[in-house]
Structure 1
Amino acid sequence: MLLFKRYVIIAFRNLRKQKLFAFINIFGLALSMAVCLLALMSTREQFSYDTFHPYPNRTYRITSPVKTPDGRVFPLAGAPLPLAGSLLTDYGIASQTVRLYTVLNENAGISTGKKDLYVRGAFSEPSFFKVFGFRLAAGNEQTALAAPNSIILSKATAARFFGTQNAVGQVLHFEQKGTYTVTGVLQDPPTKSHIDLDAIASISSVPLLEKSGLLPDRLDNWNNANDSYVYVLLKPGVAASKLESALSSIVKRYDKVEGQQSGSIAFVPQQLNHITPSGDLYNDINKGTTWGKLLAVIGVAFIILLSACFNYTNLSIVRSLYRAKEVGVRKVIGAQRYQIFIQFITESVLMALLALVFALGLLWGVMQNDFSREIVPDVPLDIVMIGWFVLFSVFTGLLAGVLPAWALSSFQPVRVLKSMSEMKVLGALSLRKSLIVAQFALSMVVTILVTTVYRQFDLKATMDYGFRQKDILNIPLEEGSYTLLKNRLQQVPGVEIVSGTSSFLGNKYGASFEVKTDAAATAVSMNYFMTDGDFIRNMGLKLLAGSTFPDNANGEQEQYVIVNESALHALHIKTAAAAIGQPLWLNDSTRVNILGVLKDFNFQPIERPISPMALRYHPADIRLIQVGVNPAANREQLLAAIAPLWKEQHPMKTFTYGWFDQELLKQIEVKGMLYTISFLAFMTIVIAALGLLGIVGYTTQTRRKEISIRKVMGAGTRNLIMLLSRNYLKLIVIAGLIALPLGFLGGNMFLQLFAYRVSLGIGTLLGSFLLLMGIALLAIISQTCTAVTTNPVNSLRND
């Protein structure tokens, strides 16, 4: 203990003596560690999901990878509702099953009409409590979801509707799905869950809703997994392989088209504690991230940390020239190699701990800004998190200090004094040159990757999706009269056109249905939007053939559908003109004719290729009014004129609205990513600059005798600067030859995640190279000018 205390005292003494060295190292490490702390917080946040459920190892969600006839695979997070009953009764492996039917999403209100708020809800059953371990703060878990038209609310939702009143026994009315009695209020779970809903109603309410036509037939329908989720709790001792065998057997029984050239479906179990992080699944209700995104964050943070550790190594070796006598004296008086090694490692760890303090300060500063919500994970800075931070800083100190500690402790005093600059680490390549090449190559790879990611997300934010985004006002319709409100809005000065839709374009997840060209044909899955006749013109979509919905279209019984080009290919219709008038069957129940064909556009984010899509006409399902406004109109005056018209139909509600382009940016989750990438880009460039400054400082110190002799022999300042710079430029070219292929490969691997992507061409690669070249030249000129203007007598006096 006494020896360790001595190590710490010496370390602090050296930090005081070498203030500039300490500042550059601590600041560089702090910048990189701030990024890594964010990555640690993000990792903890993602692994905090679903940790409180009582049977995580025996509970599985059933996912449904769907393979289309053309070979595309769409992994769905959902599964058909009848699957639960089959698993429970036919195979003897399930203790309980739970169904979540997430169609309870609409604006609900108290029966007195005092409040109307949006609710994200689902239908489920009493086993929900036993399988997932949720508890009620009020109500009886045994009966809360047993009777039809009963509903439980989250604490926050109960407070939104009823304030401090007891919510149990109160009544909620849903416009489309009836009236429900509140039978329970959920306790807040101890940790996050991928099941995050405002309300859960009894699934025993669904049969009557299906019978009355308020919901489609899904309880016994094996052909849809878009908004239904099935969980199974295995009996104790039952292996997961038995569940897989049962699911394979069920697929063979119910996938009637398997083996034909018409696509297929599979059922795959996903363990509850593996849902977050998970693979990239369609229609997933999970708010957590995917493995790909989490590993990308960790990878970028580690690369930036590695860059900062290189900085520390470089600067430590620079200072080793000044501490050579210290090392030599220690060895002469009997110090062992391990003692010198521990001394330098102690200094490195101490430096990292000091950098942790600065990093926490940077993190705190970031959290005080408005954009912190975009990049800072929602986890508490508790004692556990601080403990992880400390362990991480110790790891950083070990990682950064091991090479200089090993190098300085491995030689005899004379070699430390005379031959440090020529120590070989990579064959014939000296330590000096190795560090320069490694630092440049690493910095260049990071710069290329960060630039590529930024360009791709900038494309995601700014590309032409094929529909109008600017000057569109989104207004939720709720339960008001769409036709009446539309007619009133069209009279407002500054309003050019008004249309309605069930969901705005650009949504990650949309509704879908099965379409056939005739009763015997193979069904094609299509996304769809419920719209009106003005939607195409308002969104700026292009009709290749046919027309939009006529004014006299039947709003009760569907007659027409408008499809995109991709739908024609999937339905094997050759031309747009040939498609007009073609009959289609929707979900095997409704016969319609193709009224028009739209030019393909990106109705989903650009991660996905354009797929078959249809516009349908059913005004009762329109939930959003989109008001196209004149770009020159005064927006404040426009909103002041629109609000009273909306309030006429919603007197007890607060007028809400959103501008389409801004809501789309939120939907495609690009704003936070651009903030994060910009932050990483800044960190990368600053750390690279510090590292290069350290490298140049080291090399000019090792060549000070050479520079002095050349000056004595008559070399001019300009010639010396050119001589030193030429050597650096050669090493930069070597680093570029290493980094450019690696950066190109890594950037292209990332871009494969997107169906529509930027090109990683010569511009990005050359730009990154030139950026680092410019930073290097600034560092070179600043240090070499100092070296070549130094009086040679001072450098040669002790040689």
Structure 2
Amino acid sequence: MLKNYFKIAWRNLTRNMMFSTVNIIGLSVALISFLLIAFYVFDELTYDRFHKKADNIYRVVENRKSLEGKERKVASTNYQLTERAKADLPEVKEMVRLGGFGRTNISTENDQNVFYGEYWTSSPQLLEVFDFKLLQGNKGTALAEPNTVVITAEIAKKLYGTTDVINKTIKVDDSIPYKVTGVLADFPSNSQLSFDLLFSETSLDGELRQSFTSDWSSTDFTTYFLLDPGADIKGLENKLTRLVADNRKVGTDKSNYLLQPLTDVHFYSGDIEGNLGKTGSITYMYIFSAIALFILLIACINYMNLTTASFTRRSKEIAVRKVAGALRHNLVAQFLSEAVLTTFISLAIALVSVKFILPAFNEFAGKKFTLGAGTDYRIWMGIGIIVVLVSVLSGIYPALFQSGLKPLQLLKNKIKVGKVNISLRRSLVVFQFTLSIIMIIVTLVVYQQMKYINKKDLGFTKEQLLVVDINSGSVRRNAELIRNEFEKLAAVKNVSITSRVPGEWKNLRKVKVADRQAGTAEVNEMYFLGVDDQFLTTYEIGLAQGRNFIHGSMADSASVMINQTAAKKMGITEANGQLIEMPFSAKRPPFVARVVGIVEDFNFQSLHEPLAPMVLGFRSNPVQLIDYFTARVDPQNMAATIKQMEAVLYKIDPTHLFEYHFLDKQWELFYADDKVKQTIFLAAAALAILIACLGLFGLATYTAQQRIKEIGVRRVLGASMQSIVTMLSKEFLLLVLVAALIAFPIGWWFTHQWLDAFAYRVEVGWWIFLTAGLLAMAIAMLTISYQAIQAAMANPVKSLKNE
């Protein structure tokens, strides 16, 4: 019986090729988009869940409250907290402590294949608590001894061309040899922890380690606890808070400690500083999932619409089956088998297409998806469930509707399409285009926002700025000489030396600032940038009031400039040498400086963030060392200019790599995720419209065929082609208009939710909604017009001859 169902299903598919093609293309496109989005969402939702002990691993977060009452959460702790917690608190079964100590020069033992790498250290337990795959080495001892390092397979091949590198040595900063004791498989794309090199914590030198023995205040280490499954989390948080309070010196910031589940870190760390990995948005997972389901639903609606609209083609078949004794459930099974067959054909096309698309999609999304035997079994289970749901959803209503018709009506061909069926088809068309128009609105707003971001005046000119890293003490000591040599190059217009740059990709230093002459205890938190006298000229930043730093001035080491936002916050209207102080710690006296200038506001962070107060200290300040050269260069012959600058630097330091970035490219990285979302919304809108139009095309074709004799009579009686096209089109266009009116308020709400993430954003004007509505109407009209014009141009004699 089952074989017979599918044989008849195949025969009906091939007999009605136009409707079958529309359904298969629509379902295939929907399944392709669904599978790609499902891959992405699944990967995000399973972040860090590949660790067997993930449910019992917690990250320690310090909620620090300053003496002024300001709070901030930091995903790092002091050294002693982790040491004492493991020893004193029985709930803590094991701990992992990670420390980041900046970048360093890495090479083979014979100084080959040099590159810069992050110097991360770990306590020995990391490879036992976390389930990272170790290709070579022993998990229990790989990080136990001093001067040992675990590297990834990728780095092993980069250094030595092979992964067989156990007991080989690498050099750090040209002198210190480290023995390779482990080789890690490359980290999964959905792991928050990801290192190229991981050094043993015991490798830290004696003086540095000695400082940790009394460290109860720093935030130098990221800490994870493996807890007993029955641990009282709230009670343990209180114990950690009391432990630090009992040992931290009086007069420092107060803290309470939180334990964040490892499985929450990816999605729920937006308000936490110092995250090691990329954070995600659970809201966007809901949005992307909804988009995938909506696109699939639109394709299912197409199937339902076309099948119910064209059931008169099969009226005699249904009648004969019923007269011959077929029960209703037999007919339901037959029609569902057709839906199942259509879905399986569409799925086969979708799987083949996704196989070819995945490499490009992986590059776009920054993932490592594969489709094959190695694909997670849960994805295959999900695909199976979706096939069943799509088949049932697409076929159940047409099956129940068609199987319920009376044989006598079918044989006499007196089938009345009830108002309920017509209303349902209209409602489904409205639903399809409502979703499509919402996607058009969102896409237009995202495009406008990204265009605004790219063109917004940041208060400085970021184009043609080449940023060169200072990676060694010798370059830092000879920075003035190097700057002078850079400036002698024909293509270099200006050069500045700074501690950080606007659009910083590392971290911007924050300082506490008090107006020493105001007589108040108010302390403001501000960002700090160490700059030289060429900073304003190089970056083309305006000086609003006062003076710039003076080249070579020793006195200016105790001078600062502030931006307009900082001046407003402290009530400074004129830069006339007001004294401000920046306290460091109990061991160091505060940095007291004179305000000599007020610079015009400029954006130094992503436009997601509002303008913040900033202090510009002279480059010889005691707060932060210089770390970059920034050169404004002529774009002509850029490669040659870079080579010349590299030669200048190598004269001073031939051992470290010449590392540079173009600042405008770094700024683009701020909005990389937003551009990914823009592409997803654009693709989803295009797919939703495509699938909706396929259905509309099918319905328009069926409507034209059903009214072919009416059209013939109208033509004989003198109706114009224009009136015929209008008659066939107006019903569908009215449905699109209704869809637009429903979509407008929903689209407005969605776009405002997204724009709330930006401190600087466009206004959502009425023209966006008008454009979306008109675009949908135009696309619908183009879809319908082909069949409408073809029907209007048909010879009326041919349409009436069988009457």
Among 17, 39, 45, the alignment partner of 1:41 is 39
Gaps of 5+ in 2: none
**What CA distance in whole angstroms lies between the structure 1 residues aligned with 2:605 and 2:599?**
15
The Cα of 1:441 is off from its aligned counterpart by 1.4
Q: Given the alignment, which residue of 746, 757, 773 partners 1:742?
A: 746
Using the aligned pairs only, state the percent identity: 28
| Amino acid in the other structure paired with 1:451 | L
Distance in 2 of aligned mates of 1:300 and 1:264: 45
Distance 1:25 1:141, change over 3 A: closer
Q: 2:58·2:259 contact (CA, 8 Å) conserved in 1?
A: yes
Q: Which residue of 1 aligns with 2:724?
A: 720
1:507-546 equivalences in 2 (<5 Å)? 507=504, 510-517=507-514, 521=521, 524-546=524-546
| 1:473–1:724 CA distance, 2 compared to 1 (3 A) | same
The CA deviation at 1:792 is 5.1
- Please say if 1:628 is aligned against 2:632: yes
CA change 1:305–1:564 in 2 (3 A) is farther
Distance apart, 1:787 and its partner CA: 2.8
Query: Quick check: 2:153–2:186 contact (8 Å CA) kept in 1?
Result: no
Q: Does 1:782 align with 2:786?
A: yes
**What is the one-letter code of the residue matched to 1:87?**
A
Partner of 1:322: 313
Give the partner amino acid of 1:403: Y
Alignment deviations for residues 602-643 of structure 1 (CA, whole Å, 9 cap, x no partner): 322222223344444557844433221135x33244334334
Alignment of 1:197-596 (within 5 A): 197-204=195-202, 208=206, 210=208, 225=219, 228-247=221-240, 249=242, 266-280=256-270, 281-287=272-278, 289-367=280-358, 373-375=363-365, 377-383=367-373, 384=375, 387=380, 388-413=382-407, 418=414, 421-424=417-420, 430-479=423-472, 481=475, 482-507=479-504, 510-517=507-514, 521=521, 524-552=524-552, 559-568=558-567, 572-575=570-573, 577=575, 580-586=578-584, 589=588, 590-593=590-593, 594-596=595-597
Deviations 1:169-202 (A, max 9, x none): 6353338xx8463352242268453211122334
User: Displacement of 1:497 after TM fit?
Assistant: 0.9
Q: Deviations over 1:727-758 (max 9, x none)?
A: 33433322222111111111212222222222
CA distance in structure 1 between the aligned counterparts of 2:407 and 2:458, rounded to whole angstroms: 67
Q: State which drifts further: 371-380 or 134-143.
A: 134-143
Counterparts of 2:619 and 2:110, CA distance in 1: 29
Could you tell me the TM-score, scaled by structure 2's length? 0.86
SS at match of 2:507: coil
Matched-pair contact (CA < 8 Å) for 1:553–1:559: no
Say if 1:536 and 1:542, in contact at 8 Å, map to a contact too: yes
CA distance in structure 1 between the aligned counterparts of 2:775 and 2:249, rounded to whole angstroms: 59
SS of the equivalent of 2:488 reads: coil
Contact 2:305 2:695 in 1 (8 A): yes
Aligned partner of 2:601 in structure 1 is 600
Residue 610 of structure 1 is matched in structure 2 by 611
Shift in Å, 1:539: 1.9
1:289 Cα offset (Å): 3.0
Distance change (3 Å), C-alpha of 1:218 and 1:525: farther
CA contact (8 A) 1:565 1:576 kept: no
Amino acid at match of 2:470: L
Report how far residue 774 of structure 1 moved: 0.5
Tell me the distance in 2 between the aligned counterparts of 1:347 and 1:300. Answer: 26
Q: Contact 1:314 / 1:698 at 8 angstroms: preserved in 2?
A: no
How many Å apart are 1:237 and its aligned residue? 2.7
Give 1:766's aligned residue.
770
CA contact (8 A) 2:150 2:184 kept: no
Whole-Å separation in 2 of the counterparts to 1:447 and 1:49: 31
In the aligned structure 2, how far is the partner of 1:45 from the partner of 1:252? 40
Judge conservation of contact 1:517–1:583 (CA < 8 Å) in 2: yes
**CA 1:110–1:243 in structure 2 vs 1: closer, same or farther (change >3 Å)?**
same
Q: Secondary structure at the match of 2:105?
A: strand
- For 2:194 and 2:8, locate their aligned partners in 1 and report how far apart those are by CA, in whole Å: 54
Please tell me the residue identity of whatever aligns with 2:783.
A
How far apart are the structure 2 equivalents of 1:77 and 1:415? 73
Per-residue deviation at 1:522? Answer: 6.1
8 Å contact from structure 2 (residues 443, 678) kept in 1: no
Q: 1:574 to 1:616 in 2, by over 3 A?
A: closer
Q: Which residue of 2 aligns with 1:62?
A: 60
Q: 1:668 to 1:785 in 2, by over 3 A?
A: closer
Instruction: Output the CA distance in 2 between the equivalents of 1:721 and 1:444.
Output: 24
Structure 2 match to 1:122:
120
Greater Cα offset, 455-464 or 599-608 = 455-464
Shift of 1:450: 2.6
Q: Which runs of 5+ in 1 are unaligned?
A: none
Partner of 1:662: 665
SS in 1 for 2:95: strand
Distance 1:494-1:129 versus aligned 2 partners, 3 A rule: same
| Residues in 2 aligned to 1:587 and 1:400: alpha-carbon distance in whole angstroms | 68
* TM-score, reference length from structure 1: 0.86
| 8 Å CA contact 1:153, 1:182 repeated in 2 | no
- Per-residue CA deviation, residues 32-72 of structure 1 (Å, 9 max, x unaligned), is 22221111221232245434434212110123456789999
Per-residue deviation, 1:294: 2.7
- Total equivalences in the alignment: 780
Structure 1 residues 364, 138: CA separation in 2 closer, same or farther (over 3 Å shift)?
Answer: closer
